[in-house]
Structure formats: C-alpha cells, structure tokens
C-alpha cells in the first residue's frame, strides 16, 4: 500500500462507477439515457484523474466531456430511430463476436495490469500549480511543434466537417 487508503477507495469507487455507466450505455433502450450514461462515465474518469492528483487534466476532462457528450445526446436524438426507448428494439449485430473480442481484450489487459511487477511507486509528485506551470512550459517549449500542427489539424478538420455537413444549395435558375 503506497498511498493512503482514501486514494485506493476513491479509485475503486470512481472506477466501478465509470465501468458501470459504460455498461449502461449499451444496455439501456433509451438513447438519451445512453448518452447521459456516457457523460457520467466520462465524469467518473475525470474524478479518477482528480484522485490521481492531476488536477488540471481532471478539470479539463470534466469540462470537455460534459459539453461533448451533451452534443452527442443531440445527435442521438437527430439520428436514432427510437430516442425515447419505448419501443425496446434490439439494435445490435454480431453479438457473439463482439462479446468474445471484449472478453479477450479484458483478460489480456487485466493480465498486463496485475501480473508484472511495476517497480517502486514514485512519490515526488509536483503540486497542482507547479504541474500547470510545467505543462505550459512544455507546451511552448519542446512540444510547440506538435501543438502547432495539432492546431492546424483541428482547423482543417473544422473546415472539413463544416463543408461536409452543409446542405448543398440549389443554384438559381438551373435545371
């Protein structure tokens, strides 16, 4: 036991919440409940980040995922056949294959988590303000090229997504 019991308890609590909400996403029939369950799963992941003392990343995850998953809820209502879930339709295919794939992935990842000896736990974690400073210096120092190109990628994808999504306008006077 490296840290306190509180950290382990909250990690288990939020981790179970994240996985449970993730399962609810695919078990429920109502589409908006599915989107909200995904939102709360991401919130639990953000809370795990806060427990693991990465305050900036946790707060960022909470903020971004609340907005993104709400927009996903809107898209679900736009595109799904039964957003309220009152029809109780089963909208899945190749169930056995996907259950087997999920099972194999779970076993493999759990084996990697629990079997190796990861070495001694590190204990000199910079505090939250220092982490923000270090992130900023890293962003504008070593990783500046990466983020400049990421910014360019985001701009390109914004333009591409907008152009793909705009309805073609009919020309005046054409046949």
CB 86 to other proteins: min, Å: 8
CB 43 to other proteins: min, Å: 8
How far apart, in whole angstroms, are the C-alpha atoms of residue 41 and residue 17? 7
Of 78 and 172, nearer to other proteins (C-beta) is 78
How far apart, in whole angstroms, are the C-alpha atoms of residue 58 and residue 61? 5
Which residues have CB under 8 Å from 145's CB, separation 6+? none
CB 93 to other proteins: min, Å: 5
Of 142 and 173, nearer to other proteins (C-beta) is 142
Of 10 and 174, nearer to other proteins (C-beta) is 10
CB 56 to other proteins: min, Å: 5
Of 87 and 173, nearer to other proteins (C-beta) is 87
Side-chain-facing half-sphere of 24: CA atoms under 13 Å: 18
Rounding to the nearest 10 degrees, give the CA dihedral for residues 17, 18, 21, 26: -150
């Amino acid at each position: 036991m490296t840290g306190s019991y509180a950290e382990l308890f909250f990690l288990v609590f939020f981790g179970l919440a994240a996985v449970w909400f993730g399962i609810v996403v695919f078990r429920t029939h109502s589409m908006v409940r599915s989107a909200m369950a995904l939102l709360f799963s991401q919130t639990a992941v953000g809370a795990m980040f806060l427990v693991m003392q990465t305050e900036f990343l946790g707060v960022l995850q909470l903020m971004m995922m609340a907005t993104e998953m709400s927009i996903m809820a809107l898209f679900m209502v736009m595109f799904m056949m039964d957003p309220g879930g009152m029809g109780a339709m089963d909208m899945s295919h190749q169930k056995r294959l996907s259950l087997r794939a999920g099972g194999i992935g779970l076993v493999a990842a759990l084996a990697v988590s629990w079997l190796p000896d990861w070495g001694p736990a590190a204990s000199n974690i910079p505090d939250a303000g220092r982490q923000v400073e270090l992130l900023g210096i890293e962003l504008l120092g070593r990783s500046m090229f990466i983020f400049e190109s990421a910014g360019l990628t985001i701009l390109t994808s914004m333009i591409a997504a907008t152009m793909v999504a705009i309805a073609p306008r009919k020309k005046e006077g054409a046949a």
